[in-house]
Structure 1
């Protein structure tokens, strides 16, 4: 499987910080539900099944099969060196610097990181999972990986477990606590929020007020956590653009030798120009220079990078 070849955070970012997003007032009952789940101590998740229910952060825990994860091409956080680990070190460093306030510009909600693409199949789920695994392996970092691609969920399957209830169920049920749908793992620093059940209004739920409130609460009451969203492709639905607007940082996954420049330009035009955003070139077979994607996007509209069939990662 071809891995991520290079992370390129070359898109210019305005130094002007955009005004804070206007979040509708949160009804007291709903706010209490969210706060109980995210306004928690900064220690790692407690996953021991022997503890009383009141002391658990999540209602469910799964054991990730690291050998299965390794065989699927994903990053395994162990002491062995590998090319994919080095690649994701390059990808995550600028993101973590922005979270820590050490980046080139300040942004709102920098700990909310959306991973998306222009079209489906370019490797965004593969990238989101690897990014979460890589950051979760760091000291003093904890990660919540959210499958927000609710029409085509893939995070739970990629990590090797059944998603069951998740984000959709929480957004649809005002009586449900977030802890009911969070899934802790045998990596104490990694928690997963699956996409959840099918719902006839799933797209509307993703673009609704409850999602806005949830992301705002995650950022403000969960400031020491990195929240990574596997987001829908930007050109797939209007809801994907709304979700992207709630993120502090956006990672755009581009498939080497297949993605059209015109599609990438169109997708970028949908993002807030003051958002922190950058590229990950996925499935590349050759080493490239940092200028492969960059200022030359202004020309060659519609040029195709190649005709290789999709291979490797999914998303």
Structure 2
């Protein structure tokens, strides 16, 4: 645990940029989109998640509340760093499986979507062991976003809109040749088309773990920055160092999220609503 905390301190000391202050009297504005872009969002097939399913799977940011507080703090820090640097594409990965990267991706996406000036799109890029749909309780019929990346399906057929300003692209089953697909020209063209057609304020990618394949490394040059999710008492300092070094050679590392920590005290704000 102490070694993980030490890694977090190093990541904190290396963080890029400093949050800028908003002008006095500035107000949050609702997202303004061209009519044709708004029409495309409105035309997307909708999905309404069951709050009980989300709670069971530790997705706590659909609404603001006690359990959303630390996740909302993460959201705010991520948005500040990305805004200050002009970044639009964020990958979320972990050294190994079961660190909670999909949970973190969903909590971050829901939290960002609660801010009306944002319209994020979350895309599942863990094409070997997809579980985004299961975590959301989403029916898997005809869900295969990898077909969009392969150029075999239109974007609108594979995106599902949740609420007014969040869209999700998930997969019902593993994709063929995921490593090659994540480095392909068709994948890059698909992402460019998504940005041109839907103008998301942020693209979030739920990536595979780094140390089980070369998928994340092959995809790293397609994103602006990466967030690493570590599991307390499971992830080792060497794994974090290896991942941070590999990623740092290819893109920007925002920092490390310490997940599955059982001993967080009141000083971290968990009892603020109590």
**Following the alignment from structure 2 to structure 1, what is the Cα–Cα distance between the partners of residues 234 and 91?**
22
Which one of 75, 90, 98 corresponds to residue 121 of structure 1?
98
**Equivalent position of 2:53 in the other structure:** 68
* Counterpart secondary structure, 2:212: coil
Pick closer, same or farther for the CA change 1:123–1:141 going to 2, 3 Å.
same
Pick closer, same or farther for the CA change 1:116–1:181 going to 2, 3 Å.
same
**Following the alignment from structure 2 to structure 1, what is the Cα–Cα distance between the partners of residues 209 and 144?**
20
Q: CA deviation at 1:259?
A: 0.7
**Following the alignment from structure 1 to structure 2, what is the Cα–Cα distance between the partners of residues 131 and 191?**
13
**Equivalent position of 1:264 in the other structure:** 240
**Equivalent position of 1:144 in the other structure:** 121
8 Å contact 2:133–2:172 — kept in the other structure? no
**Equivalent position of 1:111 in the other structure:** 88
8 Å contact 2:129–2:174 — kept in the other structure? no
Which one of 218, 226, 236 corresponds to residue 202 of structure 2?
226
Q: CA deviation at 1:44?
A: 8.9
Which one of 2, 6, 10 corresponds to residue 12 of structure 2?
10
Is 2:93 the partner of 1:91? no
* Counterpart secondary structure, 1:204: helix
**Following the alignment from structure 1 to structure 2, what is the Cα–Cα distance between the partners of residues 91 and 44?**
30
Q: CA deviation at 1:96?
A: 1.0
Pick closer, same or farther for the CA change 1:199–1:229 going to 2, 3 Å.
closer
Q: CA deviation at 1:244?
A: 2.6
More helix, by proportion:
2
* Counterpart secondary structure, 1:270: helix
Q: CA deviation at 1:135?
A: 0.8
Normalised by the length of structure 1, the TM-score is 0.68
**Following the alignment from structure 2 to structure 1, what is the Cα–Cα distance between the partners of residues 188 and 36?**
20
Is 2:222 the partner of 1:246? yes
Unaligned runs of 5+ in 1: 16-38, 47-55, 289-315
* Counterpart secondary structure, 1:100: helix
Is 2:187 the partner of 1:211? yes
Q: Number of aligned pairs?
A: 240
Is 2:178 the partner of 1:202? yes
8 Å contact 1:143–1:228 — kept in the other structure? yes
8 Å contact 1:77–1:137 — kept in the other structure? yes
**Equivalent position of 2:37 in the other structure:** 41
Normalised by the length of structure 2, the TM-score is 0.77
Unaligned runs of 5+ in 2: 18-34, 266-274
Pick closer, same or farther for the CA change 1:40–1:96 going to 2, 3 Å.
farther
**Following the alignment from structure 2 to structure 1, what is the Cα–Cα distance between the partners of residues 184 and 16?**
28
**Equivalent position of 1:170 in the other structure:** 148
**Equivalent position of 1:313 in the other structure:** none
8 Å contact 2:16–2:81 — kept in the other structure? no
